[in-house]
Structure 1
C-alpha cells in the first residue's frame, strides 16, 4: 500500500479554493503522538482542546469543531476510532464523542508500516505540510504537534509534487526593489539581501501561481505574520492588520499595529501589483477577523 499517495489524497470538503486542513492537522497531531508513544490512543475528551487550538491557529478563519475530522478521517483508511462500546466512531457530534469515551489512533496497517520503515513517518508528514501549508509555517506547526523531523528528510515522490519555480524569489524581490512591501526593510550583507523573502499571497499549496502578481517581497517577520493571518492586503493595496492581534510593547505597535491602512511599498512601475483574486483568497482563507481601522496605534 502506498501510504504517501493515500496521504496526498485525503478526502476534504473543497469549493472555490477554500481551505479545509482539518484532517491534515489531526493526522499530523497523531503522527507526533505516535512518535512519542506508538501504542497510545488519543481519547477525544483529552485531546479536544489541543485539536481546537490547532484549528484556531492553523485552520481557516471560520470556526469549526475538531469532532469533524476525528470522525471523518476514518473513511480515508489511515485512522480508527473505538468507544467504550467497541470499534467504530459514534458520529461527528461533540457530545457523542465525549459521552462514549471515543478514542482514535492511526490505523493498524499504518502503524505496522511505520514500525517497519521508521523514515516513512517523516515522509508522510512532509506530504501533509507541503500540500496544505506554506513553508514559513512548517517549523512552528511541527513544534505545535510535537513532531521532530530532520531538515534533510524529504516529502512525497516527484510524480505527486507540483514543482515550485526557482525564479519566483528573484522576480518578486526585484519587482519590489528588495524592500519589504509592508515596512520598507531592505537589509543587506554586501550585495546580498538578508531577511527578505518572496511570499505567496494565494498559497502555493492551494494552486497559487509562481507569478509576480501573486507575490510580495516581505521581511521574515511580516512574512510569518502574513501567513498566520495577522496581516493582509485589502482594497487599494493597503495593509490589513487583524483586530485579533494583541501587542502592547512599542515593537508590536510600531512594527505591526501601525501598519494598518498603509499603502504597499511597490511594486515598481511596469510590474503587475497583487491580483485582486489572490488578495480576496488570502482575505477569506487566511486573514483572521476584522481589520483594524487605519491610524489606530
Structure 2
C-alpha cells in the first residue's frame, strides 16, 4: 500500500484557500510518538496541550481546536479513536473527548508497515513537512514533535505516484542577486571568503502552497528575518511596507532594534528592471501566515 499517496489524499477543511495543517500536525506528532513508543494508544487528555501548542505555533492565525484533527483524521483510514465505552470517536468537541476518555492510535496496517520499514516514518514525515510548511520551520517543528533528527536528515525524499516536484536550484542565486545580496528588511550583507553567508531566498507564498520559484515571489532576507517572516512575526503590505505582529513581544534592545523598529519601514526594492514581489503573494502571506493584528509603526 502506498501510504504517501494515501496521506496526500487526506480530506481537509477548505475555505478561500486557507492553510489547514491540522491533520498533518497531528500525524507528525503521532509519528514522533511512534518512534519513541510504538503504536501505544494516545489519550486525548494527555495530547491536548501539545496539539494545542502545535496548532498555535504552526497552524493558521485563526484559533482552532485540537479536537478537530483528533476526531476528523478518523475519516481518512489512518487513525482510530476509541472511548471508554467502545470503538468510535465521540466527535470533535473538547468536552466529549475528555469525558469519554478518548484515545487514538494509528491504523494497525499503517503501524505494521512503519514497524517493518523504519524509513517509512522518514518518508511520511518528509512529505508532510514539504507539503505543508516552509523549509525554515522544519527543524523546529521536528524537535517539537520529537521526530529523530538524525534519521530525518538522511536526505530521503517522498513523492506522490513517483513524480517528484523539484525546486529550482537557481532560485536562491536569482533572488540574492536581485536584492544585491542584502536583506530586504535590515540591510545585512555578510560575506565569508567571497561567499554570501546568512542570507536566504524567502518564498513569500510558500512553495508548498503553489508559491513559484520566481522573483515575483522571492525576497532576500537574512536568516533571522527569514525565520520571523515564515513564523508570521513579520509581514508586508501591498505597498511593500514591513509589518510587525502585535503579538510579538521583545523587551531587549536587540529585539527592538532587529524586529520592533522595522514596523512601518519600507522593504528594500530589487534592482531596477527586476521584478518586485507581486501583490497576490503578499496578500496570501498576510492572510495565511502573518499573525494579525499588525503593530502601529
Same fold (TM over 0.5): yes
1:241 aligns with 2:244: yes
Between stretches 150-159 and 96-105, larger displacement belongs to 150-159
1:255 aligns with 2:258: yes
- Could you tell me which residue of structure 1 aligns to residue 158 of structure 2? 156
Deviation at 1:264, TM superposition (A): 0.7
After superposition, the C-alpha distances for 1:123-166 in whole angstroms (9 at most, x for unaligned) are: 10001000000110000000010111331241213734321111
CA contact (8 A) 1:123 1:153 kept: no
1:182 aligns with 2:190: no
CA contact (8 A) 2:127 2:159 kept: no
Secondary structure at 1:105 match in 2: strand
Whole-angstrom CA distance in 1 between matches of 2:4 and 2:274? 39
CA contact (8 A) 1:240 1:260 kept: yes
1:165 aligns with 2:168: yes
Whole-angstrom CA distance in 2 between matches of 1:14 and 1:283? 17
CA contact (8 A) 1:232 1:241 kept: yes
After superposition, the C-alpha distances for 1:77-136 in whole angstroms (9 at most, x for unaligned) are: 111101001111111111111110001011111110011111111110001000000110
Whole-angstrom CA distance in 2 between matches of 1:262 and 1:176? 17
CA contact (8 A) 1:180 1:218 kept: yes
Q: CA RMSD in A?
A: 1.1
Secondary structure at 1:218 match in 2: strand
Whole-angstrom CA distance in 1 between matches of 2:32 and 2:245? 30
1:87-236 aligned at under 5 Å gives the runs: 87-149=87-149, 150=151, 151-157=153-159, 159-236=162-239
CA contact (8 A) 1:198 1:216 kept: yes
Whole-angstrom CA distance in 2 between matches of 1:85 and 1:157? 40
Structure 1 stretches lacking a partner, 5+ long: none
CA contact (8 A) 1:200 1:216 kept: yes
- Could you tell me which residue of structure 2 aligns to residue 14 of structure 1? 14
Whole-angstrom CA distance in 1 between matches of 2:102 and 2:243? 41
Whole-angstrom CA distance in 1 between matches of 2:164 and 2:201? 20
How many residue pairs were aligned?
A: 294
CA contact (8 A) 2:238 2:283 kept: no
User: Aligned match of 2:278 in 253, 275, 295?
Assistant: 275
Whole-angstrom CA distance in 1 between matches of 2:237 and 2:92? 36
CA contact (8 A) 1:17 1:206 kept: no
Deviation at 1:268, TM superposition (A): 1.2
- Could you tell me which residue of structure 2 aligns to residue 67 of structure 1? 67
Secondary structure at 2:201 match in 1: strand
Whole-angstrom CA distance in 1 between matches of 2:32 and 2:289? 24
Deviation at 1:8, TM superposition (A): 1.8
Secondary structure at 2:80 match in 1: strand
CA contact (8 A) 1:67 1:92 kept: yes
TM-score, length basis structure 1: 0.97
After superposition, the C-alpha distances for 1:160-218 in whole angstroms (9 at most, x for unaligned) are: 43211111111111111100000000000132100000000000000011110100000
CA contact (8 A) 1:197 1:218 kept: yes
